[in-house]
Chains A and B, each alone.
Chain A
């Protein structure tokens, strides 16, 4: 909130050259997987030879043990990964504040600070709480980052419990505690702020932003640039590590090489993981598109009874931590049970594909629903009046009209599935079926962190390329998929 809210305020109350670019850059860290950044954070924040400490020493300050037990590393990475969620929610809340409210306060003699503290802040509190809830739940249930930084938290305990003990009930109890905490927090937000939001906010009043002077523009750009730079720093570190011949305690590395990338493509296990991830993500995307199209069509067009429940169920994976769902599949395919053959200890292809598709279904449903809502129904009715069957009108009229939305949803589902963390770490226990993320963890565990960084860099490249593609297809609507 300390990072996201001030930036949202600057963006709401000032216009300046490059405003859209600054906002877009700010969202970059959210699309980069934090557990990949964790590979480099140890190097960048290391007490001996870390980039940050070298910078501090260069300006005459002493060294700081940033990572300590690992807690600081996890917190820093989560903050740098998740502040865009706070920024998006605060921006949306600020955009809904009726300027007449703040103008009235100013007319009655309140200072700028008083107006913000007594009028604006209470009005945007629901939005801030919603963003805070997501950030808290995501951080609380994040597995990849603490695992790579090697810091013991509840998700790490659950992961190790499954790996070392099989399916013991005490691990499932921890899963229940995690689910309970998420549900309580979510419900608390709805009860405390859900109703108040509608009553307090204004109704679409025009925005009043001031033009910033040259000094102001420079200041705003400095703030946005600094935060973005800090946020992409771990990922730049991963790139350095991937290209470094051997990165010791110096910064930057002394020699560079492409050999780690070569090893990734020629190594049996790393190449296998790329092929596996590609297969899992492709199949999951196909399932997502078919099921997502059916659900969106039922909810938006056919308006069947129970559509509210269907929509809520399809959105449930957004609210339920991935670790809980992965644990559910562990229980479903438990040893000695009827579905053991598709379980993590044998061939987890089917269960991984299903897990990936269920986790990413909300993005596809949201994307296709938005397309259907924006497409006039009259075109389908015209096709029906001319004798086309419902299926024919769907395939020949509706789908071509919403193709951009379908593709954007599919691209997002595919790219997130390629770098899915919690399902992959828990459900892939046999090396020949490892996806990319599990292979990265395996490499770090065995001390091959340069190859892991090269594999992570390839993943980041893929994710960035696919999100640019989705942005071209969806435009400004892409941001709405990450808002609450």
Chain B
């Protein structure tokens, strides 16, 4: 297979994995650090504070 063809194929595979695997994981992480558009770690502290038995206490702040 000519070089450019194999790199197009590789690009398509990378594109598929990037769009449907890397981006969603990145978005899931990002969403956990956002509060009204601002980056924050308060939700993370919130989870550690209440642990896995967290029963929806009032949000911090």
Chain A positions within 8 Å of B, measured between CB atoms, are: 152-154, 157, 167, 169-170, 172-177, 179, 291, 294-295, 297-298, 302, 304, 306-307, 310, 313-314, 316-317, 320, 324-325, 327-332, 354, 358, 390
Contact = CB atoms under 8 A, between A and B. Distances in A.
Contact of B43 (A152, A173, A307): A173
Nearest to B31: A172
Given A294-B9, A298-B10, A310-B10, A173 B28 contact: no
Interface of B: 1-2, 5-7, 9-10, 12-14, 16-18, 20-35, 43-44, 46-48, 52-54, 59
Contacts of A298: 6, 9-10, 13
B10 A304 contact: yes
Contacts of A325: 21, 24-25
A328 B10 contact: no
B6 A302 contact: yes
A316 B21 contact: yes
A172 B26 CA distance: 11
B43 A172 contact: yes
A295 B43 contact: no
Given A169-B34, A177-B47, A324-B28, A332 B23 contact: yes
User: Interface on chain B toward A: helix, strand, loop, or mixed SS?
Assistant: helix
14 contacts: A154-B52, A170-B47, A172-B32, A172-B43, A173-B32, A173-B43, A176-B44, A291-B13, A304-B10, A306-B10, A310-B14, A316-B17, A328-B24, A332-B23
A291 B52 contact: no
A169 B35 contact: yes
Nearest 9 CB-CB pairings of A with B: A328-B24, A172-B32, A172-B31, A331-B27, A173-B43, A173-B32, A328-B28, A390-B1, A176-B32
A443 B30 CA distance: 34
A314 B28 contact: no
Q: Which residue of B44, B46, B47, B53 has the most chain A CB atoms within 10 A of its CB atom? A: B47
B46 A173 contact: yes
A173 B13 contact: no
B38 to A, nearest CB: 11
Given A172-B43, A173-B43, A174-B47, A327 B10 contact: no
